[in-house]
Copies of this chain bind each other. A is one copy, B any other.
């Protein structure tokens, strides 16, 4: 287990990183929204390519996939305990009352985004598009249950 993974594991156990625990709820909310914005920004570029709205660019695909895979592990501390309220948020309270379920969906994002980054460097465009869909499904699966419309 890499250091980052260990920290994530500790965070999952305590439901909050020590650093995040010292933050005001509104800062935690602001942070998680920023993380989602950055992931969405990169995901949008991939989606445009996969849907044929922009030209296919394998190098650009890999850059965006790598960034998503690097950003995904940074999301969890944005859901630190106590950040269910404090600022306008789309995060539903069920996240904290069903944290294990939420965490399992989050873990799937980590798995799928890591696989997306690996596929992006594999040279097989069809595999990249397939893994893009799996990653999008990981987002959707969590958003449907835990994100307000």
Query: Which A residues are within 8 Å of any B CB, using their own CB?
Result: 3-4, 6-7, 18-19, 22, 27, 30-31, 33-35, 37-38, 41, 45, 48, 54, 59-60, 62-64, 66-67, 70, 74
Interface SS of A by simple majority: helix
Q: What CA separation (Å) do A3 and B62 show in the bound complex?
A: 9
In the complex, besides A33-B34, A35-B38, 14 extra interface pairs with C-beta distance below 8 angstroms are: A3-B62, A7-B63, A18-B60, A19-B54, A19-B64, A31-B37, A31-B41, A34-B34, A34-B35, A34-B37, A34-B38, A38-B38, A38-B74, A67-B74
With contact pairs A33-B34, A38-B31 given, residues A45 and B19 touching in the complex (Cβ less than 8 Å): yes
Shortest distance in angstroms between A119's beta carbon and chain B's nearest beta carbon? 16
Q: Could you say how many copies of this chain the assembly holds?
A: 2
> Which residue of the partner chain, among B4, B34, B54, contacts A22 with CB atoms under 8 Å?
B54
A55: nearest chain-B partner, CB-CB: B18
Shortest distance in angstroms between A122's beta carbon and chain B's nearest beta carbon? 15
Cβ-defined contact, A4 with B37, below 8 A: no
Cβ–Cβ < 8 Å partners of A30 in chain B: 37
Cβ-defined contact, A4 with B34, below 8 A: no
The 4 closest A-B pairs by CB, nearest first: A34-B37, A34-B34, A19-B45, A31-B41
